[in-house]
Structure 1
Amino acid sequence: MKVQASSYPARYWHKIGDGRLQCDLCPRDCKLHEGQRGACFVRMRQGEQMILTTYGRSSGFCIDPIEKKPLNNFYPGSSVFSFGTAGCNLACKFCQNWDISKSHDMDSLMDQASPETIAQAARENGCKSVAFTYNDPVIFAEYAMDTADACHALGLKTVAVTAGYIHEQPRREFFARIDAANVDLKAFTEDFYFKLTSAHLQPVLDTLRYLKHETNTWLELTTLLIPGRNDSDEELTAMCGWIKKELGADVPLHFSAFHPDYKMVDVPQTPVSTLVRARNIALQQGLHYVYTGNVHNIEGDTTFCPSCKAPLIVRDWYQINDYRLTATGHCPDCGSAVAGRFDATCGHFGRHRIPVMLG
């Protein structure tokens, strides 16, 4: 039986003593009366059940380079079929994608596609993987999981770009279907998370530990550096030390440049020097793969051998200019293994971005 997108049954909720329905998807634990929506805006109480209002509906489809997610150690040079929906379960005042993530306009979701249609379109366009991105896939978990199943049936990989703000049970079911994740570690203080995202740091750290130690999901991290908010030497040193200790030196870390947007238009853009400084701190703390994003910095785009420091994947933005890994993912100079997921040869998709219409 075909279920209408506007009434697709959601998972992860229960009824509490006062008659409200509590959403158990993320740590917000939204408690809803009839007709109310959660903080994410897309999970809604309808009668005696919770529904996902964006199932089968997207803000758009696009073919991107995998490095744009960003994932630099996951099938470099390959193309990824990307899509998102609307809404978000965080309230970041600095959101760089607020027109989608903060949207309450369901009419903006013009493209409709079933999970099977998305998987088929990705394969027909020669993509290696499908990414749930643009807004956080946690809030459209049912749609993302069904799409991931359809992708795996066709031999495609799956990617989640997420803030990692999710409860334990849905986390297990969601990431069991995800081959690679880039998780936003937005800062390393509870004060930042509480004041600037209306969320908490600990659930994100729990997700990171879980992904690294209890799944086969390839993990990379991104931190958007905001001048004066999360870019001090002390905080960066503490964060990178935690990553090294709790996740290991081989988890890639991307430092990305902030630009004034949404509710923080009075904060200046992140200078390149801040990203370089952060990258140097991470390397000094023992991390092997540290990248810079949203700026032109070839050294910060390049993957180096963790042992002999030879440049192995030289990038200029999303274009790969030199690829020296062996077919087994090793350095040709010293033989050291490079952490990641690699094919025998590099992809050559380049820096293109190709919009796709479905439906």
Structure 2
Amino acid sequence: MQSPKHIMAFIARHWAFLFLLMLIASFSIAEPNFFSSRNFNNILIAATTTLLLATGETYVIITGGIDLSIGFVMGFVAVTSATVMQRLYARGEGAPEFLCILAGCVVGLIVGVIPGFINGLLIAKFRVPPFIATLGMYGIANGIALKICDGYPVSFLPNLTGQIGNGFIAYYAGKHGFSFFQKPILTERADILALKGLLPVSVLVTIILLVICGFILAKTRFGQHTYAIGGSEDAAIRAGINVPRHIIKIYVLSSFLASCGGILLVLRFTMGTHTQFSSTYELFAIAAVVIGGASLMGGNGTVWGSTVGVLVLATLESGFVIVGIQVFYRYIAVGCILILAVLIDQFFPDMVHHE
């Protein structure tokens, strides 16, 4: 039989996951339509960009830093990649749609890592505090993005863009069975209404990136060095770790994942959008990382924990919408959950971070 201390330790360590299960159960009781494959698909699709931002932020926070620029880097990449797709498609004279989309994605990823490299360079080589360095990049990325799109969405992209971003790995059409990567051709209204998509493409891409990043953090030397730097930078230097180079890589990774999020937005909405609300993405990503058990002091955190944190926020938002609770209560709830996470970390640090 488990002692009360062991039970408390389990709750303190896994409270976010238990809270997620409680949210799912509560919203399912309040509104039966919440517990459906269609709604869970919608939750996962909506969470993809925040999941990618939170994964990069996890690495940064573990080292004791913070990246405030990722929301606007994501917007910058979204309008840049969409602009490339738009112009190639408009001038291509029969250029394959897939090549236009691929070129936009590649250009977006290339320019997207530049802010991360600059952030890392400023922090690692010039000893600029992470808050200041990334806040400066926050403004720079925001300004460049607005200059590129003039404040308007970049539209008129190849039709294939939305088909990829909103597609599913498999479709189930009842008596017609399964089809993969392409919607089956249906003529009867009942069959069309019964069509179900299984595993969105955007979710699959996100899962692959999460698994890779989670494995690197948990099982490789790169991950060990990340934790070591967050635990004690001086000790990491004495252990022979090239701390400046590693920190630059961390911020490049953060920007790369933000760039992936921007490209997924373009593919989902068939346009490149950038607004001042992009800044809320990094705030929710940071909140998710803290809810998932990472410490802002560095040295602790996991990709799995951050994933749970994002799912808590995404489930909360979806549940409020379905149940009919006004959206501004979401911000109040997120604030309360974030404070609760910090209090748990403050009062039960040994239980939360004990391996």
After TM superposition, the score normalised by the length of structure 2 is: 0.25
Query: Which of the two has greater helix per residue?
Result: 2
Which structure's relative contact order is higher, taking Cα pairs within 8 Å and 6+ residues apart? 2
Rg larger for: 2
Query: Which of the two has greater strand per residue?
Result: 1
